[in-house]
Structure 1
Amino acid sequence: MTATHSHIHHVSPTGEVPFNLDNAIDAIAHWLPTQGPIKDFIHHNTLHAVQHHPFHKGVAIAAKVFGARSYLPLADYQNLYREGRIKDFAVDWAIAHSDCSDKGAEALRERLFIADDTVHYPPVSLANHGIRNRWLTHVEVDLNSLVQPIMFRLLANFLDQGISRWTMPKPNESFWDCIRRLAQNSFLPLYPFHEASVRDLLDLDPDAVILTCLQKIVGTETLYEQYLLEMLLAHPGWAGMVRLIELDPKILLERRQISLKELIAVELVAELATIQKRRGGDFVCIAKLPNLTELPLLSDYEEKITTPLHLIVWHEAMEFSLHAEFLAALKPRPIGEAEKPKPIAQAFFCIDDRECSLRRHLEETHDGIETFGAAGFFGIDFLYQGFDDAYPVAQCPNIINPKHLVMESNLAEDVPKNSVADSFSALHIKPHSLLRGWLFTQVLGIGYAARMIWEVFRPGSQLLKIKKLSEVDAHTHLHLLRESDEPTEDGKMLGFSFTEMADKIEGLLRNIGLTKDFAPLVVVVAHGSSSTNNPHFAAYDCGACSGKPGAPNARAFAWMANHGNVRAILSERGISIPDQTYFIPALHNTSRDEITYFDKHLFPEAAIYNLPAFQQAMQEALDKNAQERCRWFELGPQSAPYDIAHEHVISRATSIFEPRPELNHSNNLYSIVGRRSLTEGLFLDRRAFLHSYNPDSDPDGTLIVKILSAVIPVCGGINLEYLFSRIDNSVYGAGTKLPHNVIGLLGVANGVEGDLRTGLPSQMIEVHEPARLLIVIEQTTNILDQAFAKLGELTEWLDNGWVRLVSCHPVSRELFYYFSTGWEAVDLSMMGEVPAEVCSEAITAGQKATIPVHQLRRAS
């Protein structure tokens, strides 16, 4: 989810400007997380609230508000320097870009190596040291522990998406009306709303309730907004979730009427009732606290930030060292290299960094296979309702509002709809009556308890009667061709016309630079992930498909690209796909390293002559990929045969005891937009988002604008969520997933009474090097300048340094760093030689940490 930028509105000290509740709530909401329900886990910039500031100023402001660390501990950077991961030339580069004078630069260099265990500690902040905490300390009442458990239970039950057997709200009932009904009409009192001191407040509207409570608790309008912000920052997960639902109710499958204003009203009533019960009606309000001016105030949080320059320099030096490892490998290649033979097959992959290694292994395995990268929705955005789905879901980046609906139906009309899920029936006990439930608990519960005790000591990897995805036969087809121009009730078009299909196919083919020389076989490889012990499953699927597997998009693309009418339109537009070329959809399961080929019933025998060779090469590549991944797992087999390594990654994905089914994007660092020749033959250690792009076919930058519109928010969002979750996992991340419980199918919390955790759990980021994404574009600076002028709001990612960008000249390979002030040539003279090996296995053998970029030189 994205957030629009707004600014805090302040009341003057003289009280001349009256407090405006709606404006205050809009301003407060700007600081709340934008992480949606767990079914739609979309990576995004954790600090979107300060994205309009330069990166280092933004993280400093955020630290002052949230009470978080901004960088790694100083000792970590110093250790990286001693280990050679931070280079001297990178330190020089960082100091030169710190705007220090020559004399100041020498003092700064000396300070870098002085030990200091406290410099990275969180600063004094609104969240931890503001007026609300000072007041609660003064009155000696812990409202957080007394009120929040009540609020969290009410919110979880009201917003529940299917865990509860009965729904708490009545149809079309708002959160405020629901709480008021329960408080006034329940047979048992709803604590603390039954207290006589607040009972009359429930008859008022939320606006009046909020103002009344603020007057009694705070006492002065100048501090109203700050108190509300600090109250919500005590549980940002629930507050942010409510705000997102208010702005977009469609993110819930079971709709609920709730607003941030209603949440604030209910919580303030609970706080007032609790404080009055503990301290009586004459408790000291915030306005009467001594030394208020000494506390951090909302009005000056931005002016009083501190930016530790030596930590900034260390962080910049670390990033430049890591970026330089890749930039040094982009030196001009020898001229006159032999032309490659025409490929027997081409494969489209998502730009996902986990596909980086699979593409490398596939190309190493068979030099007749050519690979391309694109956003994993493959340019086809639509709402998708699967055969067993109750609701349609978006199969496109969350910044796109799809206008088409695609339905899936069964190939065999006589097959019952629920037969597809029969293999999962053993995991669900259908009877819900009191007697049957008691019997099942007593009889089956004992058996499952015994089995769980056994598996604690002898963990098993297989669940009951569940088939592998690759074992499920094709049984459905997609309704892609629109048969009527009548829109649905929601205004969506059911399917696509042939012209619209041609537009989608043409758009992707031109973006990736494949408009001629098609191979006889083109495999469109989507990706998804399956794991058992992982509530964050959507974070492992395709970010370009709104956290869903991209299989429907791959199937749609292949069907459209194979259709004769679509090819005829493309031919008129200058893209002639030979009759002998056939597109096949597939899905790469990134946790199990398995591949599934879809719609086999459509394969014409003559058109897939090269499929067996591709399948064999792909299987070998998957085995090698599984082996390469094992080096990261603490208990994984090191340098084991392919079959043992592959068996291990499968067992990790299916074990209910494994908190690390895969490490996902934990190494992400680079995003390369260019021809495959730019990165072919490079070992990038699964760190690169690879998007295909032919600079010669984009003379005015039109294509690069389209590509960056997806690359910047998707890849940049992934990178920054990993970066900040690694920098301070307790504030920006979700902590360890071991105590996490899924709450209402909305999110996870520690136990049942905690706040919804945002960000990423520690098991996903513990090996991550927190450096900003480096985007390298194979294009001239002049054309990129034209493109950036058309990027709109996305330019703040570049101008403010939330991602770094380098231009690589298509011919000379000259490199230029982008700054808001202009382009700066990258000096490669101090970077040294790029290490080289003959194959990937020679590089990864015995390695359990991040490996620098290598060149692959095949043995002669």
Structure 2
Amino acid sequence: MAYLEHRQTSLNKAGNYAKDKGFCLDEVINRIAHWLPTQGPLKDFIHHNTLHAVQHYPFHEGIAVAAKIFGARSYLALEDYQELYRQGRIGNNALDWAIAKFGSDQNPAQLRLDLFEADDRCHYPPLSLANHGLRSSWLTQLEIDLNAMVHPILFRLLANFLDQGISRWSLPKDGESFWNCVARLTQNSLVPLYPFNEPAARQLLNNTPDQVILSCLDKIVGQERYYEQYLLEILLAHPGWSGMVRMIELNPESLLTKRDISLQQLLAVELVCELACLNQKKARHWQNLSSVLSLDKIPLLADIVADPDVPVRLKIWHEAMEWALHAELLKALQTKPEASVTQEKTQPAVQALFCIDDRECSLRRYLEEISPAVETFGAAGFFGIDFLYQGIDDAYPVAQCPVAITPKHLIKESSLHQQPKNKSKSAPMPDLHFTPHSLLRGWLYTQTLGLGYAVRMAWSVFNPGSRLPNIRSLSELDSHSHLHLLRESDQTDEQGHLLGFTFSEMADRVGGLLRNIGLTQHYSPLVMVVAHGSSSVNNPHFAAYDCGACAGKPGAPNARAFAWMANHPSVRSILSERGLSIPDSTRFIAAMHNTSRDEITYFDLPDKGKPSVPGLHAFQQIMSKALQRNARERCRWFELGPKTPDNQIAHEHVIARASSIFEPRPELNHSNNLYCIVGRRSLTRDLFLDRRAFLHSYDPDSDAQGDVLVKIMSAIIPVCGGINLEYLFSRIDNSVYGAGTKLPHNVIGLLGVANGVEGDLRTGLPSQMIEVHEPARLLIVVEQSCEVIDQTLANLGELKEWLDNEWVRLVACHPVNRTLFRYSAEGWEAIDLESQKDVPEAVHSEPIIAGKTATIPVHRLIRRHA
């Protein structure tokens, strides 16, 4: 019954509407929009499941459907899996496990032989709607390349209409819609606007978009039953622009300068353009598709979604690869460290809260290696404080919380010092435009100042410095400013936001986070709250390098807010009444880790003349050493990175990379992310995880009902799962699901990037971010009993779909005996790791990474020292 319900849901989402219902344009557009990317403008680049459209399927069926829709590969090439087997990354035990579990009723011995056969067609994309549907017939059978004729015109119109600041001249008038703008240009332009000046097209522009769509479909397609698929194929021919238009239609606030545009308007303009091109190409002597083609032989959307075709060999290889990688961690977790090498429980000198980001995994390890007196914790990088933030120079507020949360509070930043009336020459430029706007003045400035800037750019290419260009980065925050956190009245602003928090609201957030991570007692004198962000020059996808839990923004405002709230006596008094006592001697200090440069900025330190914070200076020295070691570990991935054991040289190299205008890889960001571990630090403190793990602190003993775990899972599934899946699919097929190489990318209207000046907006991640990534699904390990996790899953709502359909994997690690159980929609299954190789050991991290240029298996650290 569940299988039939799943199939019916798939058909409904595909648009298998009843024939007697007729063609309803609004419903059709809502259905086909389901297949479009949900990637917002560059400023809001947030990781998400690339294939959200098929997330209601089990993983392998979903990617099979997506392959037939988008024309993408679903797995690595067969020869790539075979090479991993030859290298020993996929062992015989993993292969046997996958064959037994997913080999269905096939003969295991024969199936194993089939896995090693050659596949000379693996590089060919599958037949798909995007490439072999109705519209492809114009090219393959009627020799008319509609895409080549229509797209350059359409993309120029979209880029100019939606432009967010690159152009000084605005194409639309105030409040003018995209449809009306095109009609106005056609009617009023002194130069004929090709191809809309064609008589039939010009006449159509006098009608409404919905009337135009139906009229054009009748002329171009003919049969109503193919209308929906034809409209979908139009959008799939340029998914970047289609998805962007849909995002703007649903969320106009995503643009700084709002624009009136919709999928209906986009489809109307494109269909008019198609019709005009066909009339001019064939001199009006042409027939619609239904009249000249055998449409019954064309792949149809309803057939694709109803019967996914999963390639068994590739499925088994991929499952074997993932199991081999996951088992490395599971074996290490199951093996308890010997009592002689386990850290004794002592009062920590410093406690440090980090984001769960996988890039902080290695930094935490180095801090603890250098000083066992440092205790680290992990939490989602917005630190439980959701708000809109507007900096001193920001034109608009931005959300500093996961996208699933709608913040109700607004926090503004102000300077501690009076700004001078006359800005110095070294002050950051407010924008990238000069004052003169006339054509003549612009030309003169280009011919004079342009030469000087060209020389300066050439010098920067061949001699990159350690400093960023003199433009304020969105990833940097003034360490000497003031945040208005305390709400003085309940009056809201024009948008309905509350200006600040009450002390009670502050206590809710501070206490909630401390309880979530299990930090409710034994406070050290110094508690660091370390956010993260990233700064680089050659990187239009800058938001993808910042904090995913802060909606793609740096987490510094959240760290500063948390530290201020946790230090305030009124907040501590309320927390004490609620059973959470923070000693008066404990001080919270905020900081931000720049992950590309491996530098740290400290915020709101005591002024000169005031008592210093105990332990702060010592921590700063430890952090300095840890950042240098972290930089060296990162350098092993960079082809031109230094291979020296000198940590200082490695640190200088990563700073230069982030400052270099010609460097497309300032950092590899989340490459090779694979694990998410929710539990006490004792579970992972003695493990080398190769910067592959999201680490969220959690005390299973204080969460008998799973209420805390619900909050944690609600954050890590969409955030960590979204990061993992976007990397996975961008690596599997970078030409379809990813953005391709950065090198030919141009920023279009501050919306996205395209190849050249007239291409489609590229979605997903560029190849420079994923080329070393091993594409395996995220393994979430929770230190809790299966019974408590079951209570948590019952309260996850729609997020449970990620687990039931195995878009991410879930394993329970019992908090007492560390027995492991694997979750599936059918229930829990005990994990047998007897045949798994022993976990390799090392004294500390640096010998492990020496000379290594590929992913490293999980190691156990048997001793720690500075």
TM-score relative to the length of structure 2:
0.96
For residues 452-501 of structure 1, what are the alpha-carbon distances to aligned partners after superposition, in whole Å with 9 as ceiling and x for unaligned?
45555555565555799999864320000000101111111110000000
- 1:319-398 equivalent positions in 2, closer than 5 A: 319-330=322-333, 331-334=335-338, 337=342, 339-398=344-403
For residue 833 of structure 2, the aligned residue among 816, 828, 831 is 828
* Paired position in structure 1 for 2:297: 294
Q: Residues 603 and 72 of structure 1: is their aligned pair in 2 closer, same or farther, counting only changes over 3 Å?
A: farther
1:137 paired to 2:137: no
Aligned mates of 1:116, 1:198 — CA distance in 2: 49
The secondary structure found in structure 2 opposite 1:192 is coil
* Paired position in structure 2 for 1:178: 181
For residue 195 of structure 1, the aligned residue among 195, 198, 221 is 198
Aligned mates of 1:467, 1:367 — CA distance in 2: 37
The one-letter code matched in structure 2 to 1:210 is I
1:268 paired to 2:274: no
The one-letter code matched in structure 1 to 2:14 is I
Aligned mates of 2:60, 2:262 — CA distance in 1: 33
Displacement, 1:294?
A: 1.3
For residue 112 of structure 2, the aligned residue among 109, 126, 144 is 109
* Paired position in structure 2 for 1:59: 63
* Paired position in structure 2 for 1:744: 749
Displacement, 1:106?
A: 2.1
For residue 83 of structure 2, the aligned residue among 71, 79, 96 is 79
* Paired position in structure 1 for 2:673: 668
Aligned mates of 1:472, 1:129 — CA distance in 2: 50
Q: Residues 117 and 603 of structure 1: is their aligned pair in 2 closer, same or farther, counting only changes over 3 Å?
A: farther
- 1:834-853 equivalent positions in 2, closer than 5 A: 834-853=839-858
Displacement, 1:660?
A: 0.3
For residues 668-700 of structure 1, what are the alpha-carbon distances to aligned partners after superposition, in whole Å with 9 as ceiling and x for unaligned?
000000000000011000000000000001000
Aligned CA-pair RMSD: 2.1
Aligned mates of 1:784, 1:644 — CA distance in 2: 46
Q: Is the 8 Å Cα contact of residues 427 and 464 (structure 1) preserved in structure 2?
A: no
* Paired position in structure 2 for 1:554: 559
* Paired position in structure 1 for 2:26: 22
Displacement, 1:836?
A: 0.7
Displacement, 1:193?
A: 1.1
* Paired position in structure 2 for 1:806: 811
For residue 697 of structure 2, the aligned residue among 688, 692, 700 is 692
Aligned mates of 1:20, 1:419 — CA distance in 2: 60
* Paired position in structure 2 for 1:45: 49
The secondary structure found in structure 1 opposite 2:600 is strand
The secondary structure found in structure 2 opposite 1:139 is coil
- 1:271-282 equivalent positions in 2, closer than 5 A: 271-282=274-285
Report sequence identity in percent: 67
Alignment size in residue pairs: 854
Q: Is the 8 Å Cα contact of residues 580 and 607 (structure 1) preserved in structure 2?
A: no
Aligned mates of 1:472, 1:86 — CA distance in 2: 45
The secondary structure found in structure 2 opposite 1:35 is coil
1:243 paired to 2:249: no
1:586 paired to 2:591: yes
For residues 331-377 of structure 1, what are the alpha-carbon distances to aligned partners after superposition, in whole Å with 9 as ceiling and x for unaligned?
23345856332111111000000000000001111111110000000
* Paired position in structure 2 for 1:69: 73
The one-letter code matched in structure 1 to 2:327 is A
Q: Residues 696 and 456 of structure 1: is their aligned pair in 2 closer, same or farther, counting only changes over 3 Å?
A: closer
Aligned mates of 2:717, 2:495 — CA distance in 1: 30
Aligned mates of 1:545, 1:338 — CA distance in 2: 33
1:148 paired to 2:154: no
The secondary structure found in structure 2 opposite 1:7 is helix
* Paired position in structure 1 for 2:540: 535
* Paired position in structure 1 for 2:638: 633
Displacement, 1:11?
A: 5.1
Displacement, 1:119?
A: 3.9
* Paired position in structure 1 for 2:762: 757
Aligned mates of 2:421, 2:800 — CA distance in 1: 51
Displacement, 1:413?
A: 3.4
Displacement, 1:444?
A: 2.3
For residue 500 of structure 2, the aligned residue among 479, 482, 495 is 495
Aligned mates of 2:496, 2:423 — CA distance in 1: 29
* Paired position in structure 2 for 1:8: 14
For residues 785-806 of structure 1, what are the alpha-carbon distances to aligned partners after superposition, in whole Å with 9 as ceiling and x for unaligned?
0110000000110000000010
For residue 613 of structure 2, the aligned residue among 608, 618, 623 is 608
Displacement, 1:303?
A: 3.5
Aligned mates of 1:784, 1:396 — CA distance in 2: 25
For residues 379-418 of structure 1, what are the alpha-carbon distances to aligned partners after superposition, in whole Å with 9 as ceiling and x for unaligned?
0000001111110000000110000000111112354596
Structure 2: gaps spanning 5 or more residues: 1-8
Q: Is the 8 Å Cα contact of residues 785 and 815 (structure 2) preserved in structure 1?
A: yes
Displacement, 1:16?
A: 3.5
The one-letter code matched in structure 2 to 1:98 is F
Aligned mates of 1:539, 1:513 — CA distance in 2: 29
* Paired position in structure 2 for 1:168: 171
- With 505-514 and 182-191 compared, the bigger mean Cα shift is at 182-191
The one-letter code matched in structure 1 to 2:42 is I
Q: Is the 8 Å Cα contact of residues 376 and 545 (structure 1) preserved in structure 2?
A: yes
The secondary structure found in structure 2 opposite 1:731 is coil
* Paired position in structure 2 for 1:403: 408
Aligned mates of 1:780, 1:415 — CA distance in 2: 60
Aligned mates of 1:465, 1:94 — CA distance in 2: 54
Displacement, 1:561?
A: 0.3
Displacement, 1:112?
A: 0.8
Q: Is the 8 Å Cα contact of residues 460 and 660 (structure 2) preserved in structure 1?
A: no
Q: Is the 8 Å Cα contact of residues 213 and 269 (structure 1) preserved in structure 2?
A: yes
The secondary structure found in structure 2 opposite 1:653 is helix
Displacement, 1:626?
A: 0.4
Q: Is the 8 Å Cα contact of residues 462 and 655 (structure 1) preserved in structure 2?
A: no
* Paired position in structure 1 for 2:443: 438
- With 357-366 and 15-24 compared, the bigger mean Cα shift is at 15-24
The secondary structure found in structure 1 opposite 2:301 is coil
- With 735-744 and 597-606 compared, the bigger mean Cα shift is at 597-606
Aligned mates of 2:217, 2:156 — CA distance in 1: 24
The secondary structure found in structure 2 opposite 1:816 is strand
Aligned mates of 1:182, 1:691 — CA distance in 2: 55
Displacement, 1:168?
A: 1.0
Q: Residues 369 and 468 of structure 1: is their aligned pair in 2 closer, same or farther, counting only changes over 3 Å?
A: farther
Aligned mates of 2:475, 2:139 — CA distance in 1: 57
For residue 650 of structure 1, the aligned residue among 651, 655, 671 is 655
Q: Residues 31 and 210 of structure 1: is their aligned pair in 2 closer, same or farther, counting only changes over 3 Å?
A: same
Aligned mates of 2:343, 2:260 — CA distance in 1: 65
- 1:766-785 equivalent positions in 2, closer than 5 A: 766-785=771-790
The one-letter code matched in structure 1 to 2:266 is L
Displacement, 1:172?
A: 1.2
The secondary structure found in structure 2 opposite 1:805 is strand
* Paired position in structure 1 for 2:312: 309
1:96 paired to 2:84: no
The one-letter code matched in structure 1 to 2:101 is H
Q: Is the 8 Å Cα contact of residues 44 and 551 (structure 2) preserved in structure 1?
A: yes
TM-score relative to the length of structure 1:
0.96
Q: Is the 8 Å Cα contact of residues 581 and 607 (structure 1) preserved in structure 2?
A: no
Q: Is the 8 Å Cα contact of residues 677 and 781 (structure 2) preserved in structure 1?
A: yes
Aligned mates of 1:396, 1:407 — CA distance in 2: 15
For residues 771-791 of structure 1, what are the alpha-carbon distances to aligned partners after superposition, in whole Å with 9 as ceiling and x for unaligned?
000000000000000110000
Structure 1: gaps spanning 5 or more residues: none
Q: Residues 499 and 415 of structure 1: is their aligned pair in 2 closer, same or farther, counting only changes over 3 Å?
A: farther
Displacement, 1:188?
A: 2.0
Aligned mates of 2:428, 2:284 — CA distance in 1: 61
Aligned mates of 2:385, 2:477 — CA distance in 1: 25
For residues 40-66 of structure 1, what are the alpha-carbon distances to aligned partners after superposition, in whole Å with 9 as ceiling and x for unaligned?
000000000000000000000000000
For residues 626-656 of structure 1, what are the alpha-carbon distances to aligned partners after superposition, in whole Å with 9 as ceiling and x for unaligned?
0110000000001341111111000000100
